Structure 1
Amino acid sequence: MIELGLMQIALSLGLMVAAIALVRWQKLGLELSLLNATARTVVQLLAVGYVLAIVFTWRNPYSVIAVILVMLAIATVVARNRIDKRLSRLLPILAGSLLTTLVLTLVYTLSAVIRPEVWYEPRYLIPLAGIVLGNAMTAATIAGDRLVTSLKRHPQVIETHLSLGASPQQAIAAYRREAIKAGLIPTLNAMMVVGIVKLPGIITGQLLSGADPLNAALYQMLIMFMLAFADLLAAILVTAGIQRLFFNDAEQLVLP
């Protein structure tokens, strides 16, 4: 494997310089956004690299769990901010949904498929947790935002169903199904073209590190199956939680 040093990374910044030049040429007004994104990418990934180097050296379950909990907290806050900051009880719903999704996905994958020597092996647990959390966060955000928007946009339709004897679950069933489907679109699209149109990060990273191409493809297959399950479960749990926020104990629609 060809290792990259600071000089190579400095040279790679030429791509961002070229991108900023293109932005200025097209008068898109995104220069500051690109500069900010570049700076955050450098700082965040360097920090993560140093922290993970320590965690991988320690090989301690508490340090591994601490890293995963930090990732979970950040994913929860990001998802809440993108759905609706005004829903005060949304944060624990998202945290519980993402944690449940993460635990169920990783327990099955590590115990039934990969089976490392110790369950807290950071080489496997941290990358897999990051992949699952990142995608589950996206699915939960898309599904949650779609459902919240639909409930706010169609209160009369929902109240009409309620007045005709429908339960809250029945009154918003169509909106919830559409929200869950929307949350799955990115993963389904990726699964349709994986290996043909696009080589995802896992298989690309393994190929660059010199891994056997077939083994890299098998790992990518595992990842795609994990993400399909995790995204679906996260979308189901989040929409179920959001549903409870919009109805009171008397099963009346309550808009925030």
Structure 2
Amino acid sequence: MDALIELDALRLLWALGLIAVAIGLASWEQLGVQGTLAIATLRTVLQLFLVGYFLAVVFAWRNPWAVLAVLLVMLTVAALVARNRISKTLPRLLPLLWSSLLATTALTLTYTSWVVIRPETWYEPRYVIPLAGIILGNAMTAAAIAGDRLLSTLQSSRIEIETHLSLGATPTQAIHRYRREAIKAGLIPTVNSMMVVGIVKLPGIITGQLLSGIDPLNAAVYQMLIMFMLAFSTLLTGVLVTRGISRQCFNAAAQLTLP
């Protein structure tokens, strides 16, 4: 099999030609996003170079504390991004998201590492960091979608919920339907990806493995594992986040107290 073709500085400059054309097309159509595209491109280059050099050190060092530090940073950033997308006014939302993402990532990684992959060491950065990044990225999206859907639905259905409460329903019963729909909404991107993976699109993991020369069948099996991980982690995240938000929306007297 041919060796991997490395992208040197010249090839990277040629790759930037795609962005140059995109900016030119945006200018031609008067979209007003030329500056945004340029800034996004600059941030992409700087962030990925920094991450690449940093991970190269972590991979070579293979220190469990360094791996844990990387995972904690990723977890905190994911929780902050999800909080900003859901609400900045709901109290204790950030700790809820942080703990939910931690539980989801820990459970998924533990099962995958100990039962499926079984590397020599649990903190093998080659496996732990990429898999954690995939889990956190998708769980963050699921949390943001489910949390935002639940809060917006509760706001728009306040009268209906209070009517159920006045008729003797518990808070859990009064919002069960809204919480269920929020969880399903957070799961939609993952389910849609599972429906068309390998047919309509090739996800980043299998594409990267194919480009690096991995056997296509082995790459496909790894992609199956990842899709199964994402199905579990996004569903669990939606369940935990919506349950936590639901509890914060009612006081001790079972009254609806939305922010």
TM-score (norm 1): 0.99
* Structure 1: distance between partners of 2:91 and 2:168: 29
User: What letter matches 1:228 in structure 2?
Assistant: A
Aligned match for 2:215, one of 212, 216, 222: 212
Runs of 5+ consecutive residues of structure 2 not aligned to the other structure? none
* Aligned: 1:197 with 2:200: yes
* Aligned: 1:120 with 2:123: yes
Question: Could you give the per-residue CA deviations for residues 26-64 of structure 1, whole angstroms, max 9, x where no partner exists?
Answer: 111111111111111111101100110000010000000
* Structure 2: distance between partners of 1:168 and 1:96: 23
Counterpart in 1 of 2:152? 149
Shift in Å at residue 6 of structure 1? 1.9
Aligned-pair identity (%):
67
* Aligned: 1:235 with 2:256: no
Shift in Å at residue 88 of structure 1? 2.5
User: What letter matches 2:79 in structure 1?
Assistant: T
Counterpart in 2 of 1:37? 40
SS of 2:200's partner is coil
Aligned structure 1 segments of 4 or more residues deviating by more than 4 angstroms: none
User: What letter matches 1:29 in structure 2?
Assistant: G
Question: Could you give the per-residue CA deviations for residues 118-173 of structure 1, whole angstroms, max 9, x where no partner exists?
Answer: 00000000000000000000001000000010111111010000001111011000
SS of 2:214's partner is coil
User: What letter matches 1:117 in structure 2?
Assistant: E
Runs of 5+ consecutive residues of structure 1 not aligned to the other structure? none
Counterpart in 1 of 2:93? 90
User: What letter matches 2:148 in structure 1?
Assistant: D
Shift in Å at residue 250 of structure 1? 0.8
* Aligned: 1:176 with 2:147: no
User: What letter matches 1:163 in structure 2?
Assistant: S
* Aligned: 1:17 with 2:20: yes
* Aligned: 1:51 with 2:60: no
* Structure 1: distance between partners of 2:33 and 2:91: 33
Aligned match for 1:223, one of 214, 217, 226: 226
Shift in Å at residue 237 of structure 1? 0.3
Aligned length: 256
Shift in Å at residue 65 of structure 1? 0.5
* Aligned: 1:250 with 2:225: no
Question: Could you give the per-residue CA deviations for residues 187-226 of structure 1, whole angstroms, max 9, x where no partner exists?
Answer: 0000000001100011000000000000000000000000
Aligned match for 2:134, one of 131, 134, 137: 131
Aligned match for 1:100, one of 80, 100, 103: 103
Question: Could you give the per-residue CA deviations for residues 3-42 of structure 1, whole angstroms, max 9, x where no partner exists?
Answer: 1112211221110000001101111111111111111111
Shift in Å at residue 248 of structure 1? 0.4
Shift in Å at residue 251 of structure 1? 0.8
SS of 1:113's partner is helix
User: What letter matches 2:108 in structure 1?
Assistant: T
What do you get for the CA RMSD once the two structures are aligned? 0.6
